[in-house]
Structures are given as structure tokens and as C-alpha cells.
Structure 1
């Protein structure tokens, strides 16, 4: 039963479908993002924070060690109004999905959009955690400060498959990923 659930959730997640948005890609950080899943992550020079490529930094062994390897990573490149995101979408064996992307969006810009965001420190870096759409349960985002933007982590776990609140899961992912960011990035 669990493998079937993982397959269905993974297929829906990788296709970008959501019951709340009619099958279009949805972003919690900024509205109306244009998505291109076919572009190779790490190939765009337009995302200054791309000194860190989540698609290559989160290695097969790293993903397996965290049980985040239910499906292969799906490269993502998105943009909206001068903001850009680049990274990968992942599906955990616990049947929840998440994105890890670099963005040129700063914590200051995120704070302006989400004034109620919680301040965190993760791996010695400033971070913000917020529910961009509180009326759509299951999503939580963490942005971690980088030199030219931030690391964006979005968790989509409406049924709490991870066994904890989505914001706890997002923080756990950020705590595991941030040490992979090179100094100065």
C-alpha cells in the first residue's frame, strides 16, 4: 500500500499538480512563477545565488541517507517579476514532496511579503520560516540567507506523511542542507 501511495503522490508532485491550483505549478514564495522543468539546473547565470546547485549538492547517497529518494530529483527553473528560482523537486519515501532551490530573493524581500515569518538561525545563517498560504494546509517554506539571495525550501505535506508539522519538516530539511552550502555562497 505504501509504495502505491508514494507512486501516486510522487507522480502528482512531479507533474506540479495541486488540488488547490487546478494543476498549475504553485509557489509559496512569490506569485505567478513561470516554470521550466526541462532546463538543466545550474545552467542559468541569471540566478546569482546559483553558486550552490541543490540538484548536484544533494547527492544520491545524501538523499538516500535522509530517505528523500522515492523518485529521482526533478530539475526546476522558475521566474516571476525579476525573481528567479533554480533547483530541484524531491519526493521523500514518507510520501511528501519538497523543493530546494536557490533564488535571488533576499530575506528582506521575503520579510516584506510575509511580515509574520518566524526568524530562525540555521547553520549560522539567518533564515525565515512561513506558511505562504495558511488557508491551504500542508505547505511551509524556509528561506535561508545566502550572499546573493537565499536558499528556498518548500515542503508540501498536506496529510502530514512525515509525521510532524510541515514547518518542522521544512526546518529539518534546511538544517540538513545548509551545511552543504559553500562558505561565501
Structure 2
């Protein structure tokens, strides 16, 4: 169990650092500033969206349907004011998701032009899937689903060595999970 937690923590820190380093445009003094022609959705909110807490609001039947166990709090901050608040789970011999609310918007993710980017809609909300970890593009997928003031982020780690899911496409697994979770969000979130 300890090695699984350490893996998840390292994965989150790595992904957070990668997004923070490539994140929002900044001025020379490091303050976040919108680029010419950007909209409010590209301006970083001071905090994560409210109205949905993935640690407490994802119904247990949804977690059970994916055999997700061992909930672990995963809050983190990155430079420039980027924040994540949520939890991680693990599927025995399968993938490990971290589901967080973040002040990173779908538009911000799109503007980074990460590898294997796909945009679609989940339960009436804009969503984007990307492969942000260059060292493990097939084993890690991130999906951001639009919320007011940011997004609900699904960071899925699925090493090929995992007996139950390692041979499956990580972004397909992430989308399946997101399609189960997102309908549980209130329309006001």
C-alpha cells in the first residue's frame, strides 16, 4: 500500500509541476496575465471551483463499479496559484485515478496543445483529454471537465504492468470513469 501511495503522490506532483511549468502565460515578473484575445475562462481563478467535492460527493456505487478503493486525500498547489483539491483511489492490479477540482480551465488545457488532445462533451459539459506526461504517454491520461471557475480533473495512471488494465487504453479508462462521475455533479458547479 505504501508504494501505491508514493506512486500516486509522485505522479500528482510530476503532473502538477509539468502543468505549472507549461501552464498559464505569465509576465516577466511571474504574475498570471491573460494573453491578447483571451477570455475570462483563460484567467486563473484564485481558488478551485466549489459545489462539488470529489472526496465526498462521488457516490460509493460509482466507486464500486470501478473497484476503486483506498481513498487518499490529494490536495496540492503549484507555482502561479494553480491548485488541486481532491482524492486518489486505486484499483487492485489496475489503474489509479486522482480526481480533483482545479482552477485550471478547459481552455487553458487546450491552449497548451498537449499530445493526443481530444475535445468532447460529458453530460452537457465541455471536456478535454490529454497525454501530459511525455515519459509515459500511454500510461497516463488527464481529462478536464468544465466547472465554473475551473474544472474537475481526472488524472489516471495505468502502468502497462497492471494485470487488469495495463493493456487497455488509459484515456478510454479515464473517459469511462468521467462519464460515471460527471453526472453526479450539480448543474450549478
Identify the TM-score tier after normalising by the shorter chain. 0.7 to 0.9
Q: What is aligned with 2:81? A: 82
Q: Deviations over 1:70-127 (max 9, x none)?
A: xx21011111121111000110134221110000111111111235521111111110
Equivalent of 1:27 in 15, 19, 24: 15
SS in 1 for 2:50: helix
Count of matched residue pairs: 158
Matched, 1:171 2:175: yes
The two structures have a TM-score, normalised by structure 2, of 0.74
| Contact 1:16–1:25 under 8 Å retained in 2 | no
Matched, 1:15 2:6: yes
Q: What is aligned with 1:107? A: 106
Give unmatched runs, 5+ long, in structure 2: 22-45
Give unmatched runs, 5+ long, in structure 1: 1-9, 33-45
| Contact 1:114–1:132 under 8 Å retained in 2 | no
Matched, 1:65 2:56: no
- Distance, in Å, in 2 between the alignment partners of 1:63 and 1:115 is 28
- Distance, in Å, in 2 between the alignment partners of 1:25 and 1:59 is 26
Judged with a 3 Å threshold, the aligned counterparts in structure 2 of structure 1 residues 53 and 24 are, in CA distance, closer, same or farther, namely: closer
Judged with a 3 Å threshold, the aligned counterparts in structure 2 of structure 1 residues 129 and 173 are, in CA distance, closer, same or farther, namely: same
- Distance, in Å, in 2 between the alignment partners of 1:61 and 1:120 is 25
| Aligned-pair CA distance for 1:12 | 2.4
- Distance, in Å, in 2 between the alignment partners of 1:12 and 1:98 is 15
- Distance, in Å, in 1 between the alignment partners of 2:172 and 2:62 is 19
Rg comparison, structure with higher value: 2
Structure 1 segments of 4 or more deviating over 4 A?
A: none
The two structures have a TM-score, normalised by structure 1, of 0.75
Q: What is aligned with 2:124? A: 124
Judged with a 3 Å threshold, the aligned counterparts in structure 2 of structure 1 residues 103 and 17 are, in CA distance, closer, same or farther, namely: closer
